[in-house]
């Protein structure tokens, strides 16, 4: 076979492979491994809820994509409610201007052991941890993103060229194929958040196989017996491999949630006494 003819066949093979969507499948199949290989990233996440209890919140931060440990700031639209969160395993550290009245300092962290708190309240500790895992919980669902793959074109995300895909996520498959270290956490997260058996997900993946954006639109139970609400979550990842400060605050920089709860009870008792004296 002549070299020109061989070259032509190679080009045709590449073109036809792309037309059948196999390149997109390769990107999808390698997405989870690529993220784990990257190790860390910065992120921005927006969650919008339409229906009963409509609302919106934004979060930004950085996360270890292999362990789920993260540091982020949640913005509810008011500087007074900006909350910084540090999640390390089952420990969560939170600080906010809202707590300053009780802690005496905006810089003081409130420490919560999620599993201990859940045990005291008779709840599922893994579910509480799962609900707090931020981007990692969403990314863990990639292992179940295999059905109805469709290429929607190309787009730039923060200046990076990506392939825009739409897939169907099988929740059970995502749980079964998840790494054993996070499988129970993902199962608890799915149950606690009311994930359906299957749901659509849009992905924007760059040429290195790194997910740059994920978007899901879900109808989820309101939790109050009312109509379902529609929740759209958009996550963007960038600065892969960045150094993330995931050190726990020093003991002198923290106060235990139980101590804060006792202080709240004391203040409530004082308010009640003041009300009785004024009556």
pLDDT in tens, 136-191: 667 777 777 766 789 999 999 999 999 999 988 888 888 887 776 667 667 777 77
Instruction: Assign 24 a pLDDT band (cuts: 50, 70, 90).
Output: confident
Residue 198: the pLDDT is 85
Q: Contact 172/187 with Cβ under 8 angstroms?
A: no
State how far the Cα of 82 lies from the Cα of 264, in Å rounded to an integer.
Answer: 21
Helices (H), 178-227: 180-193
Residue 11: the pLDDT is 33
Domains of the chain: 21-266 (2.50.20.20)
Q: What is the mean pLDDT of residues 92-116?
A: 81
Q: What is the mean pLDDT of residues 211-231?
A: 78
Measure the CA dihedral 237/239/240/245, to 10°.
-100
Q: Residue 179, by phi and psi: left (phi above 0), alpha (psi -120 to 50) or beta?
A: beta
Other Cβ atoms within 10 Å of 63 Cβ, number: 26
pTM here is 0.76
71: its two tokens: 């540091």
Residue 169: the pLDDT is 86
Strand order across the beta sheet in which 229-238 lies: 145-157, 160-170, 198-206, 211-220, 229-238, 40-50, 55-64, 70-75, 83-88, 91-95, 109-113, 254-256
Q: Give Cα 170 distance to the centre of its chain.
A: 18
Q: What is the pLDDT of residues 66-100, one digit of tens each?
A: 888 889 998 877 666 788 989 888 788 988 887 77
């Amino acid at each position: 076979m002549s070299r020109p003819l061989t070259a032509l066949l190679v080009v045709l093979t590449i073109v036809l492979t792309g037309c059948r969507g196999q390149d997109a499948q390769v990107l999808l199949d390698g997405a989870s491994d690529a993220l784990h290989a990257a190790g860390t990233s910065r992120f921005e996440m927006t969650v919008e809820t339409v229906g009963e209890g409509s609302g919106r919140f934004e979060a930004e931060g950085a996360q270890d994509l292999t362990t789920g440990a993260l540091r982020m700031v949640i913005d509810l639209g008011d500087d007074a409610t900006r909350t910084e969160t540090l999640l390390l395993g089952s420990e969560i550290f939170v600080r906010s201007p809202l707590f300053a009245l009780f802690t005496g300092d905006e810089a003081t962290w409130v420490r919560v052991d999620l599993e201990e708190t859940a045990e005291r309240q008779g709840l599922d500790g893994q579910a509480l941890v799962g609900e707090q895992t931020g981007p990692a919980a969403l990314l863990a669902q990639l292992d179940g993103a295999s059905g109805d793959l469709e290429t929607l074109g190309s787009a730039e995300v923060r200046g990076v060229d990506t392939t825009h895909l739409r897939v169907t996520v099988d929740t059970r498959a995502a749980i079964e194929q998840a790494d054993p270290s996070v499988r129970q956490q993902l199962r608890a997260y799915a149950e606690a958040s009311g994930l359906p058996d299957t749901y659509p997900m849009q992905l924007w993946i760059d040429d290195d196989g790194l997910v740059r954006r994920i978007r899901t639109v879900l109808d989820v139970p309101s939790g109050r017996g009312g109509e379902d609400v529609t929740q759209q979550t958009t996550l963007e990842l960038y600065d892969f491999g960045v150094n993330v400060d995931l050190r726990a605050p020093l003991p002198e920089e923290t106060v235990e949630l139980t101590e804060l709860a006792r202080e709240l009870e004391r203040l409530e008792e004082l308010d009640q006494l003041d009300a009785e004296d004024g009556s």
